[in-house]
Amino acid sequence: MQSEQFERIHAFWTRRQQLTQGELGEFYQRVIAALTPCRPREAVSLGDSLADLRHQFFIEKVLHGDSEAAPHHVGALFLYFKRFIIDQLRKQRDDEDADAQEGCELRAPDAYAEPLRDYQLTPQQVRDAADVFITTLPHDLILLLRHCGCGGMPVKELAEQIASAHYHGGKLGLVHRQKGDPASAGRQIVEPAHRATLLGSWVLNLLKLRVGDALAARDMQAAQIVLDILCVAALSLHMDPAPTHPNTDERPSA
């Protein structure tokens, strides 16, 4: 890129918080175009297309970042982009470590028997009920349950495959286990906002709890156990994997 062309990027960068809508569009196009020749090998491990990574870099580091000084040449911009990708890799590894640790904190299935006994249930009875419940769900809701409710995939990843994915996720009653808090899904599913959803209603009925009941900690614990067993049942199904529809315009060089 010629130095006079990059000067335009530098000028936009230094006042990026005061740009007009038209200037912002030009700034975006110039940064994306300038980064096109940059193909860091580290990006291969992220699995995203370079186009997606460049867009994410612009939003997170260029537009909203406040720590990077405006680059004076395209080489500095390439370096910023490479650092961004390395940071993304580090975050990915940290998330994987957290997920692994969270998995270690989950109780073994044998530990489910005692809490369920208060509800006249056994783990096998819950599993049988889960299998029946899953058969009542349309294919799209099973995909949402498996990949988003149990697998942690963002609902937006299924938006191209499932029409009105967010609406159907709300109807199903998707809740997500928070990192470091394996009982969070059980608490959420019995909250008033979720009790009328398919999942919330099924859990309450299975535990013989009424919608208006004031629930105790043991009820939320039992709800979490039911959800855990439901996920085992859902993830045991043999189904085609949900595509994530990646942007295939280009991939990082190997």
Q: What is the pLDDT of residues 94-119, one digit of tens each?
A: 655 444 444 434 444 567 888 999 99
| In contact, 4 and 45? CB cutoff 8 Å | no
Whether residues 89 and 114 share a domain: the answer is no
Whether residues 7 and 43 share a domain: the answer is yes
Mean per-residue pLDDT over the chain, rounded: 78
pLDDT on residue 250: 43
Distance CA 220, CA 218 (A): 5
**Average pLDDT value for residue range 68-94:** 82
Using the 3D structure, point to which of 51, 67, 94 is the last residue of a domain: 94
**Average pLDDT value for residue range 43-62:** 81
Whether residues 218 and 138 share a domain: the answer is yes
247 within some domain: no
The pLDDT confidence band at residue 66, using thresholds 50, 70 and 90, is: low
Domain that holds residue 24: 3-94
Whether residues 143 and 223 share a domain: the answer is yes
104 within some domain: no
149 within some domain: yes
Q: Which of 48, 47, 52, 244 is nearest to 162 (CA)?
A: 244
89 within some domain: yes
The pLDDT confidence band at residue 131, using thresholds 50, 70 and 90, is: very high
Q: What is the pTM of this model?
A: 0.51
Whether residues 231 and 132 share a domain: the answer is yes
Using the 3D structure, point to which of 65, 94, 123 is the last residue of a domain: 94
The pLDDT confidence band at residue 242, using thresholds 50, 70 and 90, is: very low
Whether residues 219 and 126 share a domain: the answer is yes
The pLDDT confidence band at residue 2, using thresholds 50, 70 and 90, is: low
Whether residues 200 and 129 share a domain: the answer is yes
| In contact, 123 and 112? CB cutoff 8 Å | yes
248 within some domain: no
Whether residues 136 and 88 share a domain: the answer is no
Whether residues 164 and 210 share a domain: the answer is yes
For the chain, the first-to-last Cα distance in angstroms comes to 24
Distance CA 27, CA 65 (A): 15
**Domains in the chain: how many in total?**
2
The pLDDT confidence band at residue 41, using thresholds 50, 70 and 90, is: confident
The pLDDT confidence band at residue 122, using thresholds 50, 70 and 90, is: very high
Three-state SS sequence of 56-99: HHHHHHHHCCCCCCCCCCHHHHHHHHHHHHHHHHHHHHHHHHHH
Q: Where do we find the tokens 């029409």?
A: 163
Q: What is the pLDDT of residues 161-185, one digit of tens each?
A: 787 878 888 888 887 555 556 566 7
Distance CA 18, CA 11 (A): 11
Using the 3D structure, point to which of 59, 94, 129 is the last residue of a domain: 94
